[in-house]
Chains A and B, each alone.
Chain A
Amino acid sequence: MEEGEGEGLHTLAIVMLLCAALKLLHTLGLINTEDKLDDDLEMTMVCHRPEGLEKLEAQTNFNKRELQVLYRGFKNECPSGAVNEDTFKHIYSQFFPHGDATTYAHYLFNAFDSSQNGSIKFEDFVMALSILLRGTTREKLQWTFNLYDINRDGNINKEEMTDIVRAIYDMMGKYTYPVLKTDTPKQHVDAFFQKMDKNRDGVVTLDEFIFSCQEDDNIMRSLQLFENVI
């Protein structure tokens, strides 16, 4: 009887030790057993207000009426006053239901987000539209160069261009005519570099870019096309 009691007490002691250890770890915060539901509620609603109408009118090429229409639309879609990247991707993907527009939307978001803080505010939105729709040719081309230059180092190299072109082709989706081959983007990029890279150093600088675009009548003509979008 005594031996049995001893073994039983052994078992008891071990179990109690185990429980105490778990409790210690929990107190130390190494084990967390509560769920994280409460954290989400603490996120505050950030509301951003744009600068005054006069100031925006002075900074951009839009008149008051156009800014009003733009802001009404913007505020309706984003009551908090700012667009984050996921919302932006979602919106942009709706225009291209055939393929996957998220990669290109990511690059576009970075181009729009001039302050690089992860959200587009109304000022960013309206400034970019002002350049794209009412800006000079040089401004438009510069904006496009910024779009292509993913890492903002002042040069476009082949990898960046390939990423952009691949993202554009992704938007086409699978069902295209003619059928998309895997090296189509690469060929496209090679053609682009053939045209743009004047000194054949493997990167395209801003001046090379602007110069080559200005040489091309097609591009110049097309740049005028989008002016009456608003």
Chain B
Amino acid sequence: MAAGVATWLPFARAAAVGWLPLAKKTMPKPPVDKKSRSDEILFVNVSGLRFQTWKNTLDRYPDTLLGSSEKEFFYNEDTQEYFFDRDPEMFRHILNFYRTGKLHYPRHECIQAFDEELAFYGIVPEIIGDCCMEEYRDRKKENQERLAEDTEAGEATDAPLPPDSTARERLWRAFENPHTSTMALVFYYVTGFFIAVSVIANVVETVPCRPLKGSTKDLPCGEKYSLAFFCMDTACVLIFTFEYLMRLFAAPSRCKFMRSVMSVIDVVAIMPYYIGLVMPENEDVSGAFVTLRVFRVFRIFKFSRHSQGLRILGYTLKSCASELGFLLFSLTMAIIIFATVMFYAEKGTKGTNFTSIPASFWYTIVTMTTLGYGDMVPNTIAGKIFGSICSLSGVLVIALPVPVIVSNFSRIYHQNQRADKMRAQQKVRLARIRMAKKGTTNAFLQYKEDGGLQDHDGDNSALCVKNRSSFEHQHHHLLHCLEKTTNHEFTDELTYSEMCMTESVGYRTSRSTSLSSQQGVATSCCPRRAKRRAIRLANSTVSVSRGSVQELDTLQIQKCSARPQSRSSLNARTEDLKLNCEDRDFTAAIISIPTPPANTPDESLPPSPAMPGILRNSRSGSYAHETVKISSL
């Protein structure tokens, strides 16, 4: 939750008076705020530049360095100020974040320096405001890419293979990075050469050669030297097939390889030959066969393995596909409009070329792109007028905006990237919001578990509970008031779905709810009664055996079984209480569990009061009458 709303919390709590007449239960007591009410001005000295701010301002974000007690480490008693040996220019932005709630990224600063400052002050970069977020992300990505490129370049050139790589891995590497070994380089150039040869052969095949003796018709060379061309074609196809099969063999993931664009091109390049071999020399089929030979020209695309530029071009076209599509669509609209108009304008003319609207398409396209072949011309006056409008608008539609379209492309392209990034960010943001919500729920349920509603005894609870700010206390109190008003309680999603599944038809009577809530209070009562704090060790049982007799105490493992399973599993999940909360004089020593786990889910006995701590077994299973010995060393 944005801590900027901390100022509104007193107002929201005051408004809770409106719930009072409706409340079904009594309201819980509010937390007592022992801190002094008066607001003081703090001095912060950052490398000589002195900043002053209200203490409340810094307290807004309690999980950062300045908002938590961590800043006490930097407190200088002599000068009564907090001294940080960091960049003062950057600190200005950090402090403004506390003041306004929005973190801005200064554009002239280095992104890494900024990141380091944020890390030092404990601020997550995700809260950068929307105004600066894009810039920040772009620069960060740029930086990362550059670093990645550098490391990749460093690696790629001279990285030796791990000695135990298989022949397959070596082969794949040779295919992907031809510069690694001489053999790979040789193979690379040989395939390149054969691609060129094949393409040239395709082209030369159709050039007319001098006719054979005894004939006057010009023959295409392909038919004159058909045997030679056939041999060359066979050689090329053999090499291509061999290369394809080797790649297939070496590929780490064959399915992925077979689906990649390059392998599809390879297949398309060599298939016509094999189909031609298989098919008989039949006159009917040869028409289709001729079409297949067209696909041989796809061999030219095999060059893209050899050329970086071609790959980039392909990628650019692919990414601009939507813009090109839109351009095409708008052109199509204009063409249809003008073609229709021309057709109807020229309809009456005898012997006109504009026989139908699709026939007029050709005229419109030729006119709009200012080609003007002249094979179709209008004859009527109206036709000429519309024809001139068509060609003028063609100039406007196509010739003029081309530079604008080019720059639009780059802008729209970036915008699209931004939209995708935003969508991805949105997912992350939603996930974070969900987690924060869950966190609030868990924190709130934790708060209730701790018996935070009633008075604490001062010192024991103070150490741990202080970790939560007074803001959180008051907020939890507010939520608790809402629960009491409606006589329903907050739970989290998991518990809710469990309850929905196990709940019988009808609702529990209010008696049972009051009963279970009473028991809930009872189980949370016990730690307080014993005046100890509970440490929950997630999924572990630790029992400590002890030395001296007088402090020997036995503990009963409590199972929070008043509630359904879910409650105790909730306890296991919340890990707010950390072990460092504990008093320093307590150290867990030896592990031993004297009694075997019993299977009776029994209720616990209250522990004896002179305990330094209670170990609560969070495994909501079968442990009941476990005796655990605790020592304090």
Contacts and interface: CB of A to CB of B under 8 A. Distances in A.
Given A4-B380, A178-B507, A11 B440 contact: no
Contacts of A92: 8, 12
Interface stretch (A31-39, A41-49, A50-58, A166-174): A166-174
A94 B1 contact: yes
A219 B21 contact: yes
Given A177-B499, A179-B503, A95 B22 contact: no
A4 B18 CA distance: 83
Contacts of A223: 17, 20
A5 B19 contact: no
A74 B11 CA distance: 11
A91 B22 contact: no
Interface string B374-386: 0000011111011
A72 B344 CA distance: 74
Nearest to B60: A76
Contact of B493 (A148, A175, A179): A175
Contact of B16 (A7, A176, A180, A226): A226
Interface stretch (B66-74, B118-126, B345-353, B554-562): B345-353
A26 interface: no
A92 B14 CA distance: 12
A12 B22 contact: no
Interface stretch (B24-32, B143-151, B248-256): B24-32
A95 B5 contact: yes
Contacts of B491: 175-177
A171 to B, nearest CB: 6
B22 A74 contact: no
A50 to B, nearest CB: 16
Range of interface residues on chain A?
35 or more
Contacts of A8: 345-346, 348, 380-383
A140 B488 CA distance: 25
A98 interface: yes
Give the most central of A12, A129, A165, A209: most B CB within 10 Å.
Answer: A12
Contacts of A229: 10, 13-14, 30, 474
A175 B496 contact: yes
Interface in B28-84: 29-30, 32-33, 38-39, 54
B25 to A, nearest CB: 8
A226 B21 contact: no
A177 B495 contact: yes
B489 interface: yes
Contact of A174 (B23, B440, B479, B496): B496
Interface of B: 1-2, 4-5, 7-24, 26-27, 29-30, 32-33, 38-39, 54, 99, 341, 344-350, 379-383, 385-386, 436-437, 440-441, 474-475, 478-479, 482-483, 485-486, 488-493, 495-496, 499-500, 503, 507-508, 513
Interface of A: 1, 3-9, 11-12, 15, 65, 69, 72-74, 76-77, 91-92, 94-98, 108, 111, 125, 128-129, 132-133, 140-141, 143-144, 147-148, 164-165, 168-169, 171-181, 184, 188, 191-192, 196, 209, 213, 218-219, 221-223, 225-226, 228-230
26 contacts: A4-B346, A4-B348, A4-B349, A4-B350, A4-B379, A5-B348, A5-B380, A5-B381, A7-B345, A8-B345, A8-B348, A12-B385, A91-B8, A95-B475, A96-B482, A97-B440, A132-B15, A132-B17, A141-B21, A144-B21, A172-B490, A177-B489, A178-B489, A178-B513, A196-B21, A229-B14
**A-B pairs with the 10 shortest C-beta distances?**
A4-B348, A8-B382, A73-B7, A175-B496, A132-B14, A8-B380, A176-B488, A222-B27, A177-B491, A177-B489
